[in-house]
Chain A
Amino acid sequence: MPELDRLHGLRVVADPDALDAARWQGGDITVLRLAPDDVFAIAATGVDIDDEHAIVESEPGFAGAWLPVETVAHHLEWPLPTERPALAQGAIAQVPARVWLRDDGDALLITAAAYADELASRFR
Chain B
Amino acid sequence: MSISPGGRIVVDGSPVTFEAGDSVAVAILRGGEVPGRGGTLCLAGDCGNCLAQVDGVAYLRTCQTAARPGLRVARHPAGVMPALPVAAVTDLTSTPLPATVALHHLETDVAVIGGGSSGRAAAAEAERTGKSVRVLDAHDGDEVVAIYAGPTIVVRTDHGMLHVHAHEIVVATGAAEIHPVVPGNRLAGIVTARAAEKLRAAGVDMGRLVPVNGDLVRFEGEDGHVRSVVTQDATTGAQTTTPADTVAVGLGLAPRDLLARMADPVPVIVVGDAATDQPLPPPPTEGVICGCMGTTVADLVDAWDRGYTELELLKRSSQACLGPCQGGACLPNVRSWIAAKTGQVPDPFTARPASRQITLAEASAETYVDAFRKTPLHDEHLAAGARMDRFGGWWRPWHYGDAVSEYWAVREGVSIGDVSTLGKLVVSGPDVVELLERLYPCTVSDIKPGRSRYALLLNERGHVMDDGMILRDSEMRFVLSFTSGSAANAEMWIRDWIDVWGLRVHVLDRTMSLAAINVTGPLASALLQRAGLADTPRFLGHVRADVAGVPCHVMRLSFTGEAAFELHHPVDRSIELWRALLALGDDMGVRPHGLQALFGLRLEKGHVIVGMDTELDTTPRRLGMDWAVRMEKPRFIGRASLERTAKLPDDRRWVGFTMPGPAPVEGAPIWAGGEVVGNVTGSWESPLLGRALMLGWLRRTPFPTEVEIDGRAAVVTPTPFYDPEGHRARA
A residues contacting B by CB (< 8 A) are 6, 8, 11, 13-14, 37-38, 53-55, 57-61, 74, 93-96, 112-115, 117-119, 121-122, 124
Contact = CB atoms under 8 A, between A and B. Distances in A.
B376 A13 contact: no
B512 A55 contact: no
B371 A60 contact: no
Given A13-B506, A55-B428, A61 B373 contact: no
Task: Determine chain B's interface SS by DSSP, over half rule.
Answer: loop
Given A53-B430, A122-B368, A13 B373 contact: no
Contacts of A74: 105
B572 A6 contact: yes
B583 to A, nearest CB: 23
Nearest to B368: A94
Interface string B590-608: 0000000000000000000
A115 B371 contact: yes
Given A61-B513, A113-B512, A96 B506 contact: no
Contacts of A96: 371
Nearest to B572: A60
A118 B378 CA distance: 13
B510 interface: yes
A95 B508 contact: no
B368 A57 contact: no
B373 to A, nearest CB: 4
B513 A57 contact: yes
Given A58-B570, A114-B374, A117-B374, A53 B368 contact: no
Contacts of A115: 371, 373
Given A11-B513, A55-B428, A59-B513, A118 B372 contact: yes
Interface residues of B, number: 31
Nearest to A119: B371
Contact of A112 (B99, B367, B426, B512): B512
Contacts of A38: 508
Contacts of A57: 426, 508, 510, 513
Interface string B501-519: 0001011101011100000
21 contacts: A8-B572, A13-B507, A53-B430, A53-B476, A53-B504, A54-B428, A55-B477, A57-B510, A61-B512, A61-B571, A93-B366, A94-B367, A94-B371, A112-B512, A113-B512, A113-B571, A114-B394, A114-B571, A115-B373, A117-B378, A122-B366
Given A13-B508, A57-B510, A60-B571, A114 B375 contact: yes
B572 to A, nearest CB: 4
Contacts of B512: 61, 112-114
Interface of B: 96, 99, 105, 366-368, 371-376, 378, 394, 426, 428-430, 476-477, 504, 506-508, 510, 512-514, 570-572
Nearest to B513: A61
A37 B570 CA distance: 22
A2 to B, nearest CB: 16
A54 B570 contact: no
A17 B514 CA distance: 27
Given A13-B508, A95-B371, A115-B373, A60 B428 contact: no
Contacts of B373: 112, 114-115, 118
A41 B588 CA distance: 43
B506 A14 contact: yes
B511 to A, nearest CB: 8
Contacts of B375: 114
Contacts of A59: 513
A122 B372 CA distance: 13
A95 B371 CA distance: 6
Contacts of B570: 58, 60
Contact of B508 (A55, A112, A122): A55
A53 B428 contact: yes
B66 to A, nearest CB: 27
Nearest to B514: A61
A54 B96 CA distance: 41
Given A59-B513, A61-B571, A53 B506 contact: yes
A49 to B, nearest CB: 11
Contacts of B477: 53, 55
B397 to A, nearest CB: 15
B693 to A, nearest CB: 33
A6 B514 CA distance: 14
A40 B282 CA distance: 74
Contacts of A53: 428-430, 476-477, 504, 506
Contacts of B105: 74
A74 B372 CA distance: 22
A50 B428 CA distance: 15
Contacts of A114: 373-376, 394, 512, 571
